[in-house]
């Protein structure tokens, strides 16, 4: 597996699979409070604001209803002792025929990987094998920490408190990737997926200020130029990079994220073939994540 990626090499790769998932799953919010432990390194959390579980649940149901218009979406029930479990893509990931468990940084999140129902759904119902990274050296919070070009088999990992290089490389091997580029995040960033996203394998959404070295952002952008949407720091804080394409012709963002975009940026997405889809997630965003964090893709 290569540990370096350049634009000429990536562009020469032929597609080896679908860039978009065939289904997705969610985990409904059930805790009446936010995870104070997670707030230690998640600056996006609004720990001291009023949080309404009922409103978060309503928004989560609407998210499932909206996404279901594009692909099958199932939802597992969350638990009161794991308040971050509404963000399952950090703990669970899939590769065709394989379920992957991440090595979580905080104990409150490590408990999420211990639940047997989600694992049984994939291993017993769907016949997936299990790749458990919890015994591997180095934390890695799966598709929170790594943005994956599924079509080409390339990963981009954001190294920081919640993702070590060894963990990212273990995840890349579990995904059978050709290459994995590890770059450090800027101080105060906890996940790469609030800094950048890759839409259907053909358009990059990125905020250079989220990287310790902006040159790394430009290096990644060169791989997908000219199809690059640059975000400002305020737009990143509005979760505009925490977006997701579940089909080749659309992109999902929260209302807060969409409202932060300029008319020019919206036009750029549309010219690149992406219809903009949106749902209200402001209550869920108080927990420090947004739409992409809520969705675990099934490949």
Backbone angles phi, psi at 201, to 5 degrees: 75, 10
| CATH top-level class of 7-298 | alpha beta
- Beta bridge partners, 155, equal 148, 180
Give per-residue pLDDT as tens, 211-255: 999 999 999 999 999 999 999 999 999 999 999 999 999 999 999
Instruction: Give the model's confidence band at 16: pLDDT under 50 very low, under 70 low, under 90 confident, else very high.
Output: confident
Rama region for 138: left / alpha / beta (φ>0; ψ in -120 to 50; rest): left
pTM for this entry: 0.96
Confirm if 201 and 151 have CB atoms less than 8 A apart: yes
Place of tokens 């990626």: 5
Q: Give the closest residue to 203 by CA, choosing from 136, 127, 159, 151.
A: 151
Instruction: Give the model's confidence band at 294: pLDDT under 50 very low, under 70 low, under 90 confident, else very high.
Output: very high
Residue 14 has pLDDT above 90, yes or no: no
pLDDT of residue 110: 97
- What whole-number percentage of the chain has pLDDT above 90? 95
The domains of the chain are located at 7-298
């Amino acid at each position: 597996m290569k540990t370096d990626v350049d634009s000429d090499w990536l562009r020469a790769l032929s597609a080896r699979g679908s860039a978009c998932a065939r289904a997705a799953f969610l985990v409904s919010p059930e805790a009446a409070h936010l995870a104070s432990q997670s707030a230690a390194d998640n600056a996006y959390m609004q720990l001291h604001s009023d949080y309404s579980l009922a409103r978060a649940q309503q928004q989560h149901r609407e998210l499932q209803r909206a996404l279901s218009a594009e692909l099958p979406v199932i939802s597992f029930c969350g638990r009161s002792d794991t308040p971050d479990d509404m963000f399952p893509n950090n703990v669970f990931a899939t590769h065709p025929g394989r379920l992957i468990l991440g090595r979580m940084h905080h104990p409150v999140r490590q408990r999420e990987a211990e639940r047997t129902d989600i694992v049984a759904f994939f291993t017993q119902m769907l016949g997936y094998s299990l790749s458990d990274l919890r015994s591997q050296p180095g934390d890695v919070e799966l598709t929170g920490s790594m943005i994956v070009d599924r079509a080409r088999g390339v990963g981009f990992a954001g190294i920081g408190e919640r993702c070590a290089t060894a963990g990212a490389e273990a995840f890349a091997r579990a995904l059978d990737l050709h290459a994995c580029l590890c770059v450090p995040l800027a101080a105060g960033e906890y996940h790469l997926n609030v800094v950048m996203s890759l839409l259907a394998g053909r358009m990059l959404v990125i905020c250079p200020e989220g990287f310790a070295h902006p040159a790394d952002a430009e290096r990644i952008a060169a791989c997908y130029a000219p199809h690059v949407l640059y975000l400002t720091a305020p737009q990143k804080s509005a979760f505009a990079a925490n977006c997701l394409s579940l089909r080749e012709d659309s992109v999902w963002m929260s209302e807060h994220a969409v409202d932060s975009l300029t008319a020019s940026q919206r036009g750029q997405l549309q010219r690149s073939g992406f219809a903009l889809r949106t749902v209200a997630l402001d209550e869920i965003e108080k927990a420090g994540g947004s739409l992409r964090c809520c969705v675990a893709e099934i490949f």
